[in-house]
Protein backbone atom coordinates (compact mmCIF):
# COMPACT_ATOMS: atom_id res chain seq x y z
CA UNK A 1 0.00 0.00 0.00
CA UNK A 2 1.38 3.38 -0.98
CA UNK A 3 0.36 6.58 0.79
CA UNK A 4 1.07 10.16 -0.21
CA UNK A 5 1.19 12.87 2.43
CA UNK A 6 0.87 16.55 1.69
CA UNK A 7 4.03 18.59 2.12
CA UNK A 8 4.08 20.99 5.08
CA UNK A 9 3.83 24.69 4.34
CA UNK A 10 7.22 25.57 5.83
CA UNK A 11 10.22 23.41 6.68
CA UNK A 12 13.66 24.54 7.76
CA UNK A 13 16.86 22.88 8.91
CA UNK A 14 20.54 23.67 9.34
CA UNK A 15 22.91 20.73 8.95
CA UNK A 16 26.68 20.44 9.10
CA UNK A 17 28.58 20.94 5.87
CA UNK A 18 29.76 17.75 4.17
CA UNK A 19 31.57 17.58 0.85
CA UNK A 20 29.29 16.06 -1.79
CA UNK A 21 28.37 16.45 -5.43
CA UNK A 22 26.08 19.39 -6.27
CA UNK A 23 22.42 18.48 -6.23
CA UNK A 24 22.89 15.54 -3.83
CA UNK A 25 20.77 14.53 -0.84
CA UNK A 26 23.19 13.86 2.04
CA UNK A 27 23.46 13.67 5.85
CA UNK A 28 20.23 11.74 6.54
CA UNK A 29 19.07 11.78 10.15
CA UNK A 30 16.08 10.24 11.88
CA UNK A 31 14.81 11.45 15.23
CA UNK A 32 17.81 13.76 15.48
CA UNK A 33 20.27 10.86 15.31
CA UNK A 34 22.25 9.12 12.55
CA UNK A 35 21.05 6.20 10.46
CA UNK A 36 21.05 2.92 12.36
CA UNK A 37 19.96 4.52 15.64
CA UNK A 38 17.51 3.02 18.10
CA UNK A 39 14.79 5.56 18.85
CA UNK A 40 12.02 6.03 21.37
CA UNK A 41 11.21 9.69 20.66
CA UNK A 42 10.89 11.92 17.59
CA UNK A 43 10.24 8.74 15.60
CA UNK A 44 8.49 10.51 12.74
CA UNK A 45 11.11 13.21 12.10
CA UNK A 46 13.28 12.69 9.00
CA UNK A 47 15.88 15.19 7.80
CA UNK A 48 18.45 15.60 5.02
CA UNK A 49 20.75 18.23 3.61
CA UNK A 50 20.88 19.14 -0.08
CA UNK A 51 24.09 20.32 -1.74
CA UNK A 52 23.72 23.32 -4.07
CA UNK A 53 19.96 23.04 -4.67
CA UNK A 54 18.27 24.92 -7.48
CA UNK A 55 15.53 27.40 -6.52
CA UNK A 56 12.76 25.26 -8.03
CA UNK A 57 13.77 21.99 -6.36
CA UNK A 58 12.05 20.28 -3.45
CA UNK A 59 12.69 17.03 -1.57
CA UNK A 60 10.60 13.85 -1.56
CA UNK A 61 10.69 11.47 1.42
CA UNK A 62 9.51 7.85 1.59
CA UNK A 63 9.25 5.56 4.64
CA UNK A 64 8.22 1.93 5.15
CA UNK A 65 8.70 -0.97 7.60
CA UNK A 66 11.82 -2.83 6.52
CA UNK A 67 9.94 -6.14 6.54
CA UNK A 68 7.01 -4.73 4.52
CA UNK A 69 8.23 -2.49 1.67
CA UNK A 70 4.74 -2.38 0.16
CA UNK A 71 3.49 -0.41 3.19
CA UNK A 72 5.16 2.72 1.88
CA UNK A 73 4.33 6.30 2.86
CA UNK A 74 5.59 9.19 0.74
CA UNK A 75 5.87 12.88 1.50
CA UNK A 76 6.57 14.75 -1.75
CA UNK A 77 7.44 18.39 -2.34
CA UNK A 78 9.13 19.33 0.94
CA UNK A 79 10.70 22.75 0.60
CA UNK A 80 14.44 23.29 1.05
CA UNK A 81 15.36 26.04 3.49
CA UNK A 82 17.99 28.73 2.77
CA UNK A 83 20.65 26.69 4.59
CA UNK A 84 20.11 23.75 2.23
CA UNK A 85 18.27 21.47 4.63
CA UNK A 86 14.82 19.90 4.68
CA UNK A 87 12.91 17.92 7.28
CA UNK A 88 9.48 16.43 7.50
CA UNK A 89 7.18 14.59 9.86
CA UNK A 90 5.94 11.12 8.88
CA UNK A 91 3.05 10.40 11.26
CA UNK A 92 1.96 6.84 11.78
CA UNK A 93 1.99 3.91 14.17
CA UNK A 94 5.49 2.77 15.05
CA UNK A 95 5.84 -0.69 16.58
CA UNK A 96 8.28 -1.57 19.35
CA UNK A 97 11.13 -3.73 18.08
CA UNK A 98 10.41 -3.04 14.42
CA UNK A 99 12.95 -1.52 12.03
CA UNK A 100 11.92 1.14 9.54
CA UNK A 101 13.60 2.16 6.30
CA UNK A 102 13.48 5.48 4.48
CA UNK A 103 15.19 7.50 1.80
CA UNK A 104 14.88 10.87 0.11
CA UNK A 105 15.51 12.48 -3.25
CA UNK A 106 15.42 15.78 -5.04
CA UNK A 107 12.20 16.20 -6.96
CA UNK A 108 14.02 15.53 -10.24
CA UNK A 109 16.75 13.19 -9.02
CA UNK A 110 17.45 9.61 -7.90
CA UNK A 111 16.61 8.26 -4.47
CA UNK A 112 19.35 8.43 -1.83
CA UNK A 113 20.89 5.46 -0.07
CA UNK A 114 18.64 3.71 2.44
CA UNK A 115 18.56 4.80 6.08
CA UNK A 116 17.19 2.67 8.93
CA UNK A 117 16.08 3.12 12.53
CA UNK A 118 14.68 0.70 15.10
CA UNK A 119 11.88 1.55 17.51
CA UNK A 120 12.29 0.87 21.23
CA UNK A 121 9.47 2.00 23.52
CA UNK A 122 9.94 -0.44 26.43
CA UNK A 123 12.28 0.49 29.32
CA UNK A 124 14.95 -2.07 30.26
CA UNK A 125 14.84 -4.05 33.53
CA UNK A 126 16.45 -2.51 36.59
CA UNK A 127 19.99 -3.65 37.45
CA UNK A 128 21.53 -5.29 40.48
CA UNK A 129 24.36 -3.49 42.28
CA UNK A 130 27.20 -5.00 44.30
CA UNK A 131 30.53 -3.78 45.65
CA UNK A 132 33.58 -5.77 46.79
CA UNK A 133 34.84 -3.03 49.12
CA UNK A 134 31.72 -1.08 50.10
CA UNK A 135 29.16 -3.67 51.23
CA UNK A 136 25.53 -2.75 51.96
CA UNK A 137 24.81 -0.56 54.99
CA UNK A 138 23.38 -3.56 56.84
CA UNK A 139 26.92 -4.98 56.99
CA UNK A 140 28.29 -1.96 58.85
CA UNK A 141 30.71 0.83 57.87
CA UNK A 142 33.53 0.48 55.34
CA UNK A 143 36.92 2.24 55.23
CA UNK A 144 36.70 5.61 53.51
CA UNK A 145 40.31 5.78 52.34
CA UNK A 146 39.86 4.17 48.91
CA UNK A 147 37.63 4.64 45.86
CA UNK A 148 34.55 2.48 45.76
CA UNK A 149 34.27 -0.27 43.17
CA UNK A 150 30.69 -0.95 42.11
CA UNK A 151 29.44 -3.64 39.75
CA UNK A 152 26.21 -3.16 37.80
CA UNK A 153 24.52 -6.19 36.27
CA UNK A 154 21.67 -6.18 33.77
CA UNK A 155 20.96 -9.85 34.32
CA UNK A 156 21.93 -10.80 30.79
CA UNK A 157 18.96 -8.95 29.29
CA UNK A 158 19.91 -7.95 25.71
CA UNK A 159 17.95 -4.70 26.08
CA UNK A 160 20.44 -3.39 28.65
CA UNK A 161 23.07 -1.35 26.80
CA UNK A 162 24.58 0.31 29.86
CA UNK A 163 23.92 2.09 33.12
CA UNK A 164 23.42 5.52 34.64
CA UNK A 165 24.63 6.15 38.18
CA UNK A 166 25.13 8.91 40.71
CA UNK A 167 24.53 10.05 44.28
CA UNK A 168 21.64 12.31 43.26
CA UNK A 169 18.21 10.72 43.15
CA UNK A 170 17.16 12.47 39.94
CA UNK A 171 19.73 12.57 37.16
CA UNK A 172 18.60 14.73 34.23
CA UNK A 173 18.33 12.74 31.02
CA UNK A 174 20.15 14.16 27.99
CA UNK A 175 17.86 16.31 25.89
CA UNK A 176 17.64 17.10 22.21
CA UNK A 177 18.63 20.56 21.06
CA UNK A 178 16.88 22.59 18.41
CA UNK A 179 19.34 24.75 16.52
CA UNK A 180 18.45 27.65 14.20
CA UNK A 181 16.22 26.55 11.31
CA UNK A 182 14.85 23.69 13.46
CA UNK A 183 17.88 21.43 13.18
CA UNK A 184 17.21 18.72 15.80
CA UNK A 185 20.27 17.09 17.38
CA UNK A 186 19.78 14.31 19.93
CA UNK A 187 22.83 13.00 21.81
CA UNK A 188 23.59 9.38 22.54
CA UNK A 189 22.42 8.34 26.03
CA UNK A 190 26.08 7.69 26.84
CA UNK A 191 27.29 11.19 25.92
CA UNK A 192 26.89 12.62 29.42
CA UNK A 193 28.78 11.97 32.68
CA UNK A 194 27.60 9.28 35.05
CA UNK A 195 26.97 6.67 32.37
CA UNK A 196 28.84 3.53 31.39
CA UNK A 197 28.30 1.00 28.61
CA UNK A 198 27.71 -2.62 29.49
CA UNK A 199 30.20 -5.28 28.41
CA UNK A 200 29.05 -8.26 26.27
CA UNK A 201 27.78 -10.01 29.40
CA UNK A 202 25.55 -7.07 30.34
CA UNK A 203 27.74 -5.92 33.24
CA UNK A 204 29.85 -2.86 34.00
CA UNK A 205 32.27 -1.90 36.74
CA UNK A 206 32.90 1.68 37.89
CA UNK A 207 35.14 3.32 40.48
CA UNK A 208 33.81 6.36 42.32
CA UNK A 209 34.81 8.38 45.39
CA UNK A 210 31.91 7.97 47.82
CA UNK A 211 30.79 10.74 50.16
CA UNK A 212 31.44 10.30 53.85
CA UNK A 213 28.96 8.72 56.22
CA UNK A 214 25.70 7.25 55.02
CA UNK A 215 25.55 7.21 51.20
CA UNK A 216 22.97 6.24 48.59
CA UNK A 217 24.04 5.34 45.05
CA UNK A 218 21.23 5.49 42.48
CA UNK A 219 21.67 3.18 39.47
CA UNK A 220 19.45 2.72 36.41
CA UNK A 221 19.74 0.50 33.36
CA UNK A 222 19.82 2.21 29.95
CA UNK A 223 18.80 0.74 26.63
CA UNK A 224 20.26 1.71 23.26
CA UNK A 225 17.54 4.28 22.67
CA UNK A 226 18.06 6.04 26.00
CA UNK A 227 15.09 4.68 27.94
CA UNK A 228 15.83 4.28 31.65
CA UNK A 229 14.72 1.66 34.15
CA UNK A 230 13.51 2.41 37.63
CA UNK A 231 16.35 3.31 39.97
CA UNK A 232 17.99 0.80 42.26
CA UNK A 233 19.26 2.40 45.49
CA UNK A 234 22.46 0.95 46.93
CA UNK A 235 22.99 2.16 50.51
CA UNK A 236 26.34 1.93 52.30
CA UNK A 237 28.27 3.59 55.11
CA UNK A 238 31.81 4.94 55.13
CA UNK A 239 33.67 5.22 58.42
Q: What is the pLDDT of residues 201-228, one digit of tens each?
A: 999 999 998 888 899 999 999 998 889 9
Interval 179-189: pLDDT, tens: 655 567 788 88
Count CA atoms closer than 13 A to 152's CA, side-chain side. Answer: 36
Do 127 and 220 touch, CB atoms closer than 8 A? Answer: yes
CA distances in angstroms from 153 to 108, 109, 126, 173, 191, listed in the order given: 52, 50, 9, 21, 20
Residues ≥6 apart with Cβ < 8 Å to 218: 165, 166, 167, 168, 169, 171, 231, 232, 233
d(CA 32, CA 233): 32
Task: Please compute the mean of the pLDDT values over residues 170-184 and round it to a whole number.
Answer: 67
Confidence of residue 10 (pLDDT cuts 50, 70, 90): very low
Structure pTM? 0.74
Between CA 63 and CA 3 the distance in angstroms is: 10
Domains and CATH numbers, the chain: 2-119 (2.60.40.1220), 128-238 (2.60.40)
Reported as a single tens digit per residue, the pLDDT across 56-94 is: 899 999 999 999 999 999 999 999 988 888 999 888 889
CA dist 222 → 9, 158, 184, 203, 228 (Å) = 38, 11, 22, 12, 5
- Asked if 49 contacts 27 with a C-beta cutoff of 8 angstroms, the reply is yes
The total of other beta-carbon atoms located within 10 Å of residue 217's CB is 23
pLDDT at residue number 168: 81
pLDDT value at position 182? 54
Amino acid sequence: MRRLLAAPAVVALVLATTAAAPGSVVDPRNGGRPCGATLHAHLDRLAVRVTDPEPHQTVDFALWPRDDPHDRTERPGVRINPAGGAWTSMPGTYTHGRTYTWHARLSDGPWSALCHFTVDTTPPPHPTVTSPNYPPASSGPSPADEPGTFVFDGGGDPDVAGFEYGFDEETPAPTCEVEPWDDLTCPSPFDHPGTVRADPTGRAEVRVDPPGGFARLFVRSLDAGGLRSEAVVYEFITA
